[in-house]
């Protein structure tokens, strides 16, 4: 496992070196961004709607005991933006785009299409790997925005029918609780998860061997590795984000005191 992590890291370094020296086709990047976004948008939007609804139901049971039902929208949205939203988007991309990318690149590897590209004088990293890596990272932000908007819509819907709260009251406290630290944490998690996913799925597909059986094995390994890596990355980014927020608040308080 440690050797595989090291090879994946060297794979990403090689991709970054090719990007620095040779660049990448913008047309292919935009094509991949469009494909990734269109593939995952319906699933992400639907999942985001139900996640927002579930968070509203769970928080209703807690805040209703303290008579703080007016803060329901802010609490559920904050939890979605900081934690559930980025992880949800990563899991959606892992299940749809990650497995698809690994299977696509693995098929090209075992049928020697990648070798043919290299024989024609082109660089497989420049033509195949980098456009898919960039597309996954960029599309994750658009999908995050769509998922969060749908989660708010799901929260409002369940707030009306389950919690009996007015939509205006649900939305009124969202800016109060969901501040810039929460948004920055969500964006930080989003880009970290997207980088992990893009690196693993392209690496597993590019290094697949053994014919059709090898492609299937690469897809399974991609699914397992991305799920485990995303959970670990979620823990690491939570620690880093909380530490940054605490340091920023302490610096702000010190400056205000002076």
Query: 12 in a domain, yes or no?
Result: no
- pLDDT digit string (tens) for 200-214? 999 999 888 888 888
Cα–Cα nearest to 203, from 143, 124, 115: 124
Tokens of residue 236, six digits: 């690491």
How many Å separate Cα 127 from the centre of its chain? 23
Query: 162 in a domain, yes or no?
Result: yes
Tokens of residue 96, six digits: 């749809």
Q: Where are the beta strands (DSSP E) in 136-202?
A: none
Kindly tell me if the per-residue pLDDT of 42 is higher than 80.
yes
Query: 15 in a domain, yes or no?
Result: no
Query: 223 in a domain, yes or no?
Result: yes
Query: 17 in a domain, yes or no?
Result: no
Greater confidence (63 vs 236) lies with: 236
Report the chain's mean pLDDT, rounded to a whole number. 84
How many Å separate Cα 44 from the centre of its chain? 11
- pLDDT digit string (tens) for 71-127? 788 888 888 887 777 888 788 878 888 888 889 899 988 888 888 888 888 888 888
Which pLDDT belongs to residue 238? Answer: 85
Which pLDDT belongs to residue 177? Answer: 80
Cα–Cα nearest to 215, from 99, 67, 88, 83: 99
**Residues for the chain: how many in total?**
258
Query: 1 in a domain, yes or no?
Result: no
Kindly tell me if the per-residue pLDDT of 61 is higher than 60.
yes
Query: 3 in a domain, yes or no?
Result: no
* Predicted model pTM: 0.85
Q: Does residue 240 sit in helix, strand or coil? A: helix
Kindly tell me if the per-residue pLDDT of 257 is higher than 80.
no
% of the chain exceeding 90 in pLDDT: 7
Residues 6+ apart with CB under 8 A from 18: 123, 125, 126, 129, 130
In order, the DSSP letters of 97-143 are IIHHHHHHHHHHHHTTHHHHHHHTT--HIIIIIHHHHHHHHHHHHHH
Query: Which domain does 229 fall in, by range?
Result: 25-257
Kindly tell me if the per-residue pLDDT of 253 is higher than 80.
no
% of the chain exceeding 70 in pLDDT: 97
Kindly tell me if the per-residue pLDDT of 245 is higher than 80.
no
Rounded CA-CA distance 178/202 in Å is 35
Query: 247 in a domain, yes or no?
Result: yes
Kindly tell me if the per-residue pLDDT of 256 is higher than 60.
no
Which pLDDT belongs to residue 203? Answer: 92
Kindly tell me if the per-residue pLDDT of 252 is higher than 70.
no
> pLDDT tier at 249 (50, 70, 90 boundaries)?
low
- pLDDT digit string (tens) for 137-189? 888 888 888 888 888 888 888 888 877 788 888 788 788 788 787 788 888 88
Count of domains in the chain?
Answer: 1
Average pLDDT over residues 189-205: 90
Which pLDDT belongs to residue 96? Answer: 81
């Amino acid at each position: 496992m440690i050797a595989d992590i090291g090879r994946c890291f060297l794979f990403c370094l090689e991709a970054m070196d090719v990007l620095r020296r040779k660049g990448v086709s913008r047309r292919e990047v935009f094509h991949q961004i469009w494909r990734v976004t269109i593939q995952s948008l319906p699933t992400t939007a639907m999942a985001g709607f139900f996640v927002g609804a579930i968070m509203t139901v769970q928080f209703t049971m807690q805040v209703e005991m303290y008579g703080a039902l007016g803060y329901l929208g802010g609490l559920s949205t904050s939890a979605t933006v900081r934690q559930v939203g980025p992880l949800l988007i990563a899991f959606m991309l892992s299940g749809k785009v990650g497995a698809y990318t690994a299977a696509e690149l693995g098929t090209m590897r075992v049928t020697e299409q990648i070798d043919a590209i290299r024989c024609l004088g082109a660089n497989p990293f420049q033509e195949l790997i980098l456009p898919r890596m960039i597309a996954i990272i960029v599309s994750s932000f658009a999908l995050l925005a769509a998922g969060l908007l749908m989660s708010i819509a799901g929260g409002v819907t369940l707030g009306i029918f389950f919690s009996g709260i007015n939509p205006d009251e649900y939305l009124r406290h969202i800016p109060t609780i969901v501040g810039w630290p929460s948004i920055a944490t969500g964006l930080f998690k989003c880009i970290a998860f997207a980088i992990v996913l893009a690196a693993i799925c392209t690496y597993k597909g590019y290094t697949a061997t053994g014919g059709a059986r090898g492609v299937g094995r690469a897809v399974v390994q991609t699914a397992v590795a991305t799920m485990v890596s995303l959970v670990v990355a979620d823990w690491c980014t939570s620690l880093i984000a909380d530490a940054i927020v605490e340091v920023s608040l302490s610096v702000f308080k010190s400056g205000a005191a002076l």
